[in-house]
Amino acid sequence: MIVTPTAEARFRREGCERVPQIHCTRCDELVRPADVDLGTRLAKCACGNVFDISSQVTRVSTRDLSPPPAWTVEESTRVDSAGVYRARSSGTGLVLTRRWRTPSAFFVLAFAATWDGFLVFWYATLVPLLFRADAPRMFLTAFLLFPLLFVAVGVWQTYAAIAQLVNRTVVCVEPRALTIRHAPLPWPGGRSLSLEGLRAFFVRRSGSEGDPSTTWTVLAEVGESATHVVLARLSEEDARFVAARLAASFSVDGP
């Protein structure tokens, strides 16, 4: 991988921090990004020195990799006979797991229970009236059909509240691929991403700075122009941790 000035400028415009600073081992001058190849972990300084950047990339990519409170990390070392650099870039059996449960989940569940309780009371009151001989059935049917939208909202709120209590997001690193799962309750967003031609992981802010609803997205740059969403709607701390941990695992550039 060669990080070109064009790619650097594009990522700076998008508000991403990703290109590590490499210093020459001979003269200690800063090496241009265009002269750094993260695929082979080699760089060439203007003084003519060609050197291994492994220690500098590792120092940048693995900084502050301690997991935030909701995350756990499992890692098993893989041995690849194809060579040192290829072994480092093929993944290490890394598994990142994020627990969804937060204190707010209990408030959401309580609200959903209150909502559902009102709907149960509504139907428990009206349904028996339908079986009375003098019941205005057309009028009662209208009152039974009207809240169906609220019933759908209640079902979704209850499901989402329970999912927030029990679910976990699991990111599995495989050779040249990522698998994202949300379990045990089914949830949108699970997928497998091919990382053939992986160049970097980076983060992007969604929303304006200082906005309490701002979230962060972890993305993977694959090939010359393609980007894939890895995880979305994270806090800045979580997003930077995931991007840095994945970058370190694949030995590519990170935030």
| pLDDT value at residue 4 | 41
With a CB cutoff of 8 Å and minimum separation 6, the contacts of 174 are 91
**Average confidence score pLDDT of the chain:** 78
Last residue of a domain, one of 112, 141, 164: 164
255 occurs within a structural domain: no
pLDDT in tens, 116-126: 999 899 888 88
- The answer for 93, left when phi > 0, alpha when psi is -120 to 50, beta otherwise, is left
Q: Rounded CA gap, 217 and 147, in Å? A: 37
| pLDDT value at residue 104 | 85
Domains: count for the chain: 2
pLDDT in tens, 56-112: 654 444 445 788 989 999 876 444 443 333 333 344 578 999 999 988 888 988 999
154 and 175 share one domain: no
Highest-confidence segment of 162-166, 192-196, 206-210: 162-166
Task: Give the domain extent around 143.
Answer: 103-164
Residue 232 has pLDDT above 60, yes or no: yes
pLDDT in tens, 8-25: 444 443 434 444 568 888
Helix (H) or strand (E) holding 141: helix 137-145
205 and 79 share one domain: yes
95 and 220 share one domain: yes
pLDDT in tens, 135-157: 677 877 887 888 888 999 999 99
